Amino acid sequence: MILIEMIKKIFYKVISLLFFSAAAIFSNAQDKTTVKASVDKNKILIGEPIKLSIEVNIPRKEAIRFFTIDSLPHFEFLEKEKVDTSSSGSETVLKQAFKITSFDSGHWVIPSFVLEKNIATDTIPVDVGFTNFDPNQDYHDIKDIIEVNPVEKKNWLWFIISGAILFVLIIIWLLSMRKKKVVLSVQPVVNPYEEAMKQLDQLRKHNLPPKQYYSELVDIFRLYIFRKKEILSLQKTTDDLVLQLKGINFDREQHAQLAQALRLSDFVKFAKYVPANEDDVNVFNTIKNSITTIEQSESNPSL
């Protein structure tokens, strides 16, 4: 009985020692950085893309680092995805995928990627070959060169005759068409003086507000000057227009009255002066008399 009890104690101690050792080894393994690399195909045709995946698991207490992959022997990069980072409570996982291919046939090995000393991925074998050849498949006969019959020369005389006939028919058709007479509506020539008098007469009949009344009155005069004397009166200021009017056959008093009427109109338009009924009549008569004087001087230069 004593021997059996001793064996039991020794057995329990060994089991306990193995358990704690395994737990220590497992815990130590979890605290280390691990890396791995894989491909979705180990056998491809020339030019066929494959996906290379790389993963790094870094414990929380260690610094974050990752591979820098610029080239692979016998392989070319088609696409590089961004590094995907995710973290849990105990570690950080970094993943990156590459789309690669090879145009060299043979048995190649993707080398080990070294993160640091004693931490590297396994090598990955990849076979690159051609499409399988079936020797039992029938061959396609090589066809002889097919002779192409030269295009027969066309008789260009028929083209010339046909073109000439078509040309004659078009000429006959054009000559047979009767041209429609285009009736041009002749616009009557506007007499500047008559139009100005007509506008003044209509302005007198309408009971307009002072600003509109004086504005239209001056516009009638400016338009008449522009059409009759070709003075760019529509773009001129009142002072510039008054200076240009000195070249017209006005006596000094009439020129002064016209200048006063134009300036008074500006005061009314810009709400700087409220005209009386007498002003309305005087300015109207001054404008009308000035137009009449200019018209008479044009008709009778001796005046």
Lowest pLDDT segment from 73-77, 101-105, 120-124, 247-251: 247-251
pLDDT of residue 144: 63
Q: β-strands 76-80, 106-110: how paired?
A: unpaired
Average pLDDT over residues 222-232: 82
pLDDT-derived band of residue 26, with 50, 70 and 90 as boundaries?
very low
Measured from the Cβ of residue 5, the count of other Cβ atoms closer than 10 Å reads 9
- Least confident among 4-18, 63-77, 230-244, 259-273: 4-18
R_g of the chain, CA atoms, integer Å: 54
Backbone angles phi, psi at 259, to 5 degrees: -65, -40
Q: Read off the tokens for 236.
A: 């001129």
Length of the chain: 303
- pLDDT for residue 186: 47
pLDDT digits (tens, 9 = 90+) for 103-139: 988 999 999 999 888 899 999 999 999 876 555 666 5
Report pLDDT for 255: 85
Q: Over 90: is that where the pLDDT of 158 sits?
A: no
Helices (H), 95-191: 156-176
Average per-residue pLDDT for the chain: 81
| Level-2 CATH architecture, domain 32-129 | Sandwich (2.60)
Q: How confident is the model at residue 198 (pLDDT cuts 50, 70, 90)?
A: very high
Residue type, 74: H
Domain layout of the chain by residue ranges: 32-129, 192-299
Burial class (CB in 10 A: 0-12, 13-18, 19+), 291: buried
Q: Over range 194-215, report the average pLDDT.
A: 90
Percent with pLDDT over 70 in the chain? 77
Instruction: Please check the confidence at residue 183 and state whether its pLDDT lies above 60.
Output: no
Residue 205 pLDDT class (50, 70, 90 cuts): confident
252-269 helix and 277-299 helix, angle to the nearest 10 degrees: 130
pTM above 0.85, yes or no: no
Question: Using an 8 Å Cβ cutoff, are 245 and 258 in contact?
Answer: yes
